Amino acid sequence: MLDGFYPPRCALCGTSTRDGRSLCGECDAGLPRLVEPFCKSCGEAFAGVIDRAFSCPNCHDLRYAFDFARPATIRDKRTLELVHRLKYNRELHLAEELGRLAAGAFADSRLGPALDMGWPLVPVPLHRKRQRERHFNQAAEIARALSRLTGLPVLHALRRTRDTETQTMLSRRQRMENLRGAFDVTHRGHRWIHASPQGAVLVDDVLTTGSTVNECAKTLRRAGFQRVSVVSVMRG
């Protein structure tokens, strides 16, 4: 009945869609997915031919707290538009499409243990002040959609302990310093770790320098998670 009153349309091209989808098949297929070769640490795409695992120059001398980050798509203005419309225009229906995109990352065999052992999806948290202003956390909305597609549970294992300065104009080093000690594990997170500490999958919308997810991974590892991987919709 709702579809009759409000016919679903593609968020990018405006054409009619089916089954309540917010993207038509053509626009969905046109969003560029991350494919080999790419950096095995951060998921940075490599425009060339390479037949072995490698780390990009940005990651070469870094030691992340997470095992690897696996974005589902490369940077593209259409994907970024969907992310921004979810975050800033409160178009919550787009979380389903972004979660569907993120689910493509699980084709990576390195995420097999997460699927086999039921690792929780841990959304990167917002500070409570920012969440009050926005009324939702976009990473949590994407994680819920991703949970429905993968069968993995969503676990709000992290909380943000201080409202950090916006990261947009900061360098990698400044971002890492800005985020130092900005996260803590929730009571729910501690209970999960006590019962099943094998691993967790951090979920975020866009991975840029990796500073935020690295600090989150540090916090989870210190609390007892043995392995932490990262899945994001897009590589920034």
Residue 42 CA, chain-centre distance (Å), reads 12
Q: Give the three-class secondary structure for 22.
A: coil
Reading the block at residue 46, the tokens are: 């490599």
Inside any domain, residue 130: yes
Select the more confidently predicted residue: 20 or 177: 20
Select the more confidently predicted residue: 170 or 29: 29
pLDDT of residue 186: 98
Residue 225 backbone zone (phi > 0: left; psi -120 to 50: alpha; other: beta): beta
Inside any domain, residue 134: yes
Inside any domain, residue 207: yes
Q: Among residues 206, 174, 186, 172, which one has the least CA distance to residue 87?
A: 206
Tell me the mean pLDDT in the region 210-223.
96
Select the more confidently predicted residue: 56 or 97: 97
Inside any domain, residue 205: yes
Inside any domain, residue 208: yes
CB 155 within 8 A of CB 225: no
pLDDT of residue 6: 75
The C-alpha atoms of residue 2 and residue 86 are separated, in whole angstroms, by 21
Round the CA-based radius of gyration of the chain to a whole number and report it: 18
Using H for helix, E for strand and C for coil, what is the string for 210-221? CHHHHHHHHHHH
- Residue 167's domain comprises 71-235
Query: For residue range 4-22, what is the model confidence (pLDDT) as tens digits?
Result: 677 889 999 999 998 889 9
Inside any domain, residue 26: no
pLDDT of residue 168: 59
Number of domains in the chain: 1
Residue 175 backbone zone (phi > 0: left; psi -120 to 50: alpha; other: beta): alpha
pLDDT of residue 61: 80
CB 70 within 8 A of CB 230: yes
The C-alpha atoms of residue 150 and residue 4 are separated, in whole angstroms, by 30
Query: For residue range 22-72, what is the model confidence (pLDDT) as tens digits?
Result: 999 999 999 999 999 999 999 999 887 777 778 888 887 889 999 999 999
CB 71 within 8 A of CB 232: yes
Tell me the mean pLDDT in the region 103-128.
97
Inside any domain, residue 138: yes
Select the more confidently predicted residue: 73 or 178: 73
Inside any domain, residue 151: yes
Q: Give the three-class secondary structure for 168.
A: coil
What integer best gives the mean pLDDT of the chain? Answer: 92
Beta strands 183-185 and 199-207: pairing type?
A: unpaired
Residue 212's Cβ-side half-sphere holds a number of Cα atoms within 13 Å equal to 26
Using H for helix, E for strand and C for coil, what is the string for 27-74? HHHHCCECCCCECCCCCCECCCCCCCCCCCCCCCCCCCCCCCEEEEEC
Q: Residue 86 belongs to a domain with what CATH number?
A: 3.40.50
Is residue 169's pLDDT more than 60? no
Count the residues in the chain: 236
The model's pTM: 0.92
Residue 89 backbone zone (phi > 0: left; psi -120 to 50: alpha; other: beta): alpha
Query: For residue range 122-166, what is the model confidence (pLDDT) as tens digits?
Result: 999 999 998 888 899 999 999 999 999 999 999 999 999 987 766
